[in-house]
Amino acid sequence: MTAKLSSLERSERRLGIALLAPAFALLAGVVLYPIFTLIRTSFSENKLTEPWLAKPWIGFENYAKAMGDERLWEATWHTLLYVIVTVPGAVALGLGLALLANQPFRVKWPVRLGLLLPWALPLVFAGLIFRWFFEYQQGLVNNALIWIGLSPVNWLTQEGPAFFAICVAIIWKTSSFAALVLLAGLQTIPKSLYEAAEVDGASKWQQFWEITLPMLKPAIIVALIFRTITAIQTFDIPKAMTDGGPGNATETLAMYIHKTTIDSLDFGYGSTLAVLMFIASAILTSIYLRHTRRDPSAGRH
């Protein structure tokens, strides 16, 4: 009997491994093998513009070059600025939208679609739409400024205003996913908590700080993590709005890597930048994950 059971178990295990195999084969082909070539290339000189070179192994030369590459540090700084501004910005706007959306509406679809549409819109389209909003002459923003009696701003051709405009676009586009996650979190808070607080005479404001925010903490942390992971890779929206300009003032790490490899065809150095970018994002993500793991309820709703 026991022998039969274990043979059943063994066949089940074999089936399990067979069912997992396609997923891991796909990951091996699309992620693991490319990572292997990425690391190898990062130690070589490999320029597609100079195909006669034999892609010589140059050790850590590319990495040494990166340390002194001013444009890399600027791009890193810009990326960090986008993270610092748009992560809390998107989650805060998302929280506001979620609180507004968490009402007993009789007709639910306008609100639900209002939250879903920005999520479903391609990032690069959001970038194009906001580029149109911030256009100097025909843009909605400058026309509104003129209408209330202010002077128009050259949004996309000056460093500060361009950064601001890009952040507005990113926050608008990414807040809707945060809002959906936070709304799901809001709907799990038991009504009885608010009823009890009402009986005790707590104001709406107190209820928000004492009940809503603490109960929502796990969902807020999930939203922050997701937003951070995507913010580190910011590419589409600045690409569509300024293409990194004026000069390199709004260029992100992702854009610099793309320009180095695809536009300048310097694969050796581009690979080094990609490895450095992966290490940096892995460190940031793991700090975040460690932070959430301390709270056992985080990540589960």
Distance CA 149, CA 171 (A): 27
Contact 175, 118 (CB under 8 A): yes
Question: Least distance to another protein from the beta carbon of 289, Å?
Answer: 10
The smaller minimum CB distance to another protein, of residues 22 and 296, is found at 22
Length, in residues, of the chain: 301
Chain centroid to Cα 68, Å, comes to 27
The smaller minimum CB distance to another protein, of residues 61 and 135, is found at 135
The smaller minimum CB distance to another protein, of residues 163 and 252, is found at 252
The smaller minimum CB distance to another protein, of residues 85 and 238, is found at 238
Question: Least distance to another protein from the beta carbon of 34, Å?
Answer: 4
The smaller minimum CB distance to another protein, of residues 15 and 64, is found at 15
Question: Least distance to another protein from the beta carbon of 234, Å?
Answer: 9
Question: Least distance to another protein from the beta carbon of 88, Å?
Answer: 18
Question: Least distance to another protein from the beta carbon of 104, Å?
Answer: 7
Question: Least distance to another protein from the beta carbon of 290, Å?
Answer: 14
The smaller minimum CB distance to another protein, of residues 88 and 301, is found at 301
Calculate the CA dihedral of residues 213, 219, 224, 229 and round it to 10 degrees. 180
Q: Give the Å distances, CA to CA, from 69 to 133, 139, 160, 240, 269.
A: 34, 36, 23, 25, 11
Closest-CA residue to 266 (of 35, 18, 9, 53): 53
| Angle between helix 70-101 and helix 159-186 axes, rounded to 10 deg | 40
